[in-house]
Structure 1
Amino acid sequence: MDGSCQLAVLVSPSGEVVACSEALRPLLPDVTPLLPDLVHAEPENEVLLQGRRYTVTRQPLLNEAGTTFAFLIALQAVSVRRADHRLSEMVIAISSKLDIEHVLEQVVRFAMELLDADAGSLPLYDPERERLTIGHLVNLPVNTLTPIVTQRRGLMWQLIKQRTSILIADYPNHPVALPELVHRGVRSLLATSIVYGNTPLGILALYRMRDEPFQESDRDILQAIALQTAIALHSSRMYQRAMRNADERYALYQASLEMGATLDLEQLYQAIHRAVSRLVRHSRFMIATLVDQRTAEYVYVYTPDGRQPVQRWPVTHGLAGYVLRFGVSLRLSGAQMLAVPGAQPLPELEGNLAEGSFMATPLIVDDRIIGALVVGSDQRDVYAMSDLSALELLAATVAGALHNAMRFAHIQSLTITDVLTELVNRRHFFQILHHEIERSRRYRTPVSIAMIDLDHFKQVNDTYGHVVGDKLLREVALRCRRYVRDVDILARYGGEEYGLILPETRYESALLAAERLRQHVMSVPFTIDGHLISMTLSIGVASFQADVHPDPSSLVVDADRALYLAKQRGRNCVCGTKELSRYAEP
């Protein structure tokens, strides 16, 4: 008989042993008394030998005449057959699922059942973030195992690096045993790496809390489970990657439609934010544009506290500044953050860099950097390389849309802006005033205006020349603009005359605002080309009344009449329309 057979015996029809395999010889004294019965029993049966259950199969051997001359009886340990059967069940169960969480749950519980383990875990390896994550735990508290990030040491990293397995019969006395597991009562550990091709995917680990350590034969079963798990995990990740790619393509398509549909900068900023939100989760988001080689303007800033005001910072500050200077993309987490020489932090915008994760990428048009996108989270290790790739793809669309919108805004500003003072011009002044008057009619809210004239400005031109005069007009405009509210509209009405729209402001409040502005301008002389020039203002104030002012022009006419009254009074003063009945000429 071929000695390579495992547990097999050749028996005569009467039940006598003709030959047996070497593997069966230790069991032969126990098997021999059973042979007469096994010869006449069912073709498949079970017997108990030395405390272990075996499945017995009987196969008759026939001669040329068709008569049975012997029986081949084979034995197989039930546990081995059961493991094979359960492994087949596991393969069917996990291969039919594409959800990674379901795969992890099934694998750990199958492995624990087959190898009689008390607990199990399946940490996953994330090559993009270079870390091991908890994955799935059974019969272990969640805080027992913490994510292992870029440490590259210990048993788990050894398994990942060497793509091997390990069996520790006496875990508490092992030199690198984790105190957390010892505290939980782990006595024995069996673990193997999960590898697909040459790519490590994770680790399957089983634990026993009793004094019955795992055996070497258990290692083979665990490795067989790990092999099937690798196939299932790879399929799940490929499916998730395909779904993510499809989602990204759709998000980019939607973004291109939204961004291409508007040239309004504010609407564009919001569309960009929506597109980023579809791609990656975040708690901080910034759009920065390059003002000049030294300054970045954060035109859209979103933090956990909500939308923040527009602000400017040197490009030596912040992650956006770094990207604007060097034109590189960044993916950073915690300790990987840029050192101070690279970029001064902006905690009011970026939060605590040491505890967060960030991505940043430049916005480039025709090889010229025009801005940067910054995405951040207040948690570590949030973003993978695939997230940065998605952000870079979006940035290509954003750059073109932002460039077009900025050009449109610049061209539009030329039609509404006075070139000399950079205030809105007379045409736009009337457009805004018309809008405010219509709002006042609809909601019954007050609106006032002030017409402002520079006193004796002709003498400045006659004394110092028109160049100094133009510079003085700019400086007066700048001082006034810095003093009025953000909601107020200051315009150059013509020559040395300015117009000021005061929304939500009643007549008396408008008079007070005009008086404070008059005093502010005259408080400090202007220095122009080395000349110290004092300047005063004459101001006329009018408030809109629906039954008196049918259109914006009529309101401006009343304010001009009040301004003329101020000049009649000797200049450098404020007059309102309610004084016209007493001081106006017949």
Structure 2
Amino acid sequence: MSRESMKRKKRSRITSKRSSETEYDHTLAELEISRRLDRVFGTTYDLKKLARRITKRIGKVIDISNFYFALYDHRERRLDFIIYYEDGKEIPHPSRRLSGGMTEYVIERKQSLLINRDIKGHCRRLGITPYGRDAKSWLGVPVTFRGEVLGVITVQDYYNEDAFSKDDDRFLRNVAAKIGMVLWSTRQVEESRRRASLFRLLAQVAKQSTRYLNLDQVLRYIDKAIKTNAPELSFRLYIKTGDQLNLYTHANDRDWKIDLPMILSLGRYSTEEETIIAFPLNWRRSIVGFFTVRFGPFTPKEEVRIFESLADQIAIAIGNARLFQETKERARRLNIAFDIGRWITSTLELDDVLNRIVDAAAGFGGNNVAILLKDEKTDELYIRAYKGDFPLEKVKKIRLKVGKDGISGHVAITGQDYYAPDITVDPYFFGLSKKTRSEASFPLKIRGRVIGVLSVESYRKDAFSREDLMTLSLLASVASVAIENASLYQQTKELSLIDPLTKIANRRHFNIMIESELLHARRFSRPFSIAMLDLDHFKDFNDRFGHLIGDRLLAHVAKVIESHLREVDFVARYGGEEFIVVLPATDTTDAVTAIERIRKGVELTPLRRKKIYRITISAGIATYPIHGLTAKELIVAADSALYYAKRHGRNRVEISS
């Protein structure tokens, strides 16, 4: 045997011995790590602490100068780096989604990957796109349990090829299997403990918060319950008051990098490091606040559902407390308004109702109080009732365009209460007096339709308290009902006294008016006259042209008669084609002149439709006290005169004899 052969044989024995020693070292290290992992398990439920301890043990066997240990969320396909070493230094590294590199290959194949040279060429053959720094050697091992990938361990060498052996691969695989069991158990315990604390929080808020009916007490209890049961929770609780959204309480949120408007506009804000979700506090179809929670890089659906339920419970607690407070305040205001409403609704005469409303409103410090009703034809507001420093005749001439003139015009178009504590800076103000400093206006609505406005002006700035405004608003609501009742009464009254065909007074209305006129005539010893009018040959007219034209003719004659009367005169349809006219303070001579004017008017004013329809009338006149002292006597006398006019040629006026 040559000397050279002997040297090669010796080197082979040395190499084999070293390999055996390395394998022995790995075996001892595996046993040691396995033993220590068993001891680590159960000492902590903090995944980061656990991972750091495991990494420290791995470093006893393999160079971990360039190393990372990441947890894998399969739902989000995201890596969360727990430990990340680069050139021997631990540095923070943001979470990231899978990108198709070597780490992703290990996770998707659920098998280790060892590349000791020509990494780029090897990756091309595997269909992998390497990312980051160019390594000379790379080893990655999946951390699995029961077929589920929980994480990944990788080591890199940026300076040497063949840096890792198959023994290193086997070593990390064996360690990863043990780590997988530990991580899975730890994660289950951690998730169970967190869910248990959240369920406990949910139960407490649901059970205890409804015991309090004071809003401040409710909010203090909710704050304490959250911070006690979930001390690590990063959250903000916003409560809505009016149109303002105010931060009530918060915890672990100093490093939040997003403002509330953006969160609310998105509902959910996500980055690679965190997700923030704004859970609305919905109560009776309105939002009373927001419960905003920050999660890690992934958001467990179970926890999201718990927080949704928690937000619902918080909303119910806040809503019930507010409802209780509102009910108490409403009861107080109702007691105030009850007396007002009782005597407002004690009358059905519209003007009486309106005058009582302005009197009541003036009691809250109003210097000029007005009820403005809406003219549907002109879309204007006019003052119907008023109490203040100006003559009623003057203010009744005021007309305000709906939606254009003044605060009242604005309220009429919006249908909402409006308070201007300082009219000098108010864009809508248009007042009665230069002394006015504040104004409150309230819509008068019937079944959602604005019929008018209650306007209260004061010479003091910010004259009305919140309670005043609420009570005045309630008064406006009561007033609306009272106005509707009075209007309905007036309409009913009018319907019972108005002839539906001719739209003039009916016989019942005439009976009331003549008795009233008799009282005035007797009291002041003055005459008055009545005239009975009848259409000539009306039956023949109906037979010739039909009842529809006949009805139109009756309505037409009624208008002609009205057009030739004074404001103090009165006309009614007595029955059929007969009309009766009351002429106050009119003797026989003047009565003949007035009725003759009506007769000529009817004769010369035909009904014009597609054709021209002409008609004449006959009339009989009776005068108090010459022809009768009672209504019945006067009517009989006028009817006799009418009968005489009919027998002597019609289309004429006769006086009772």
Normalising by structure 1, we get a TM-score of 0.47
The structure whose Rg is larger is 2
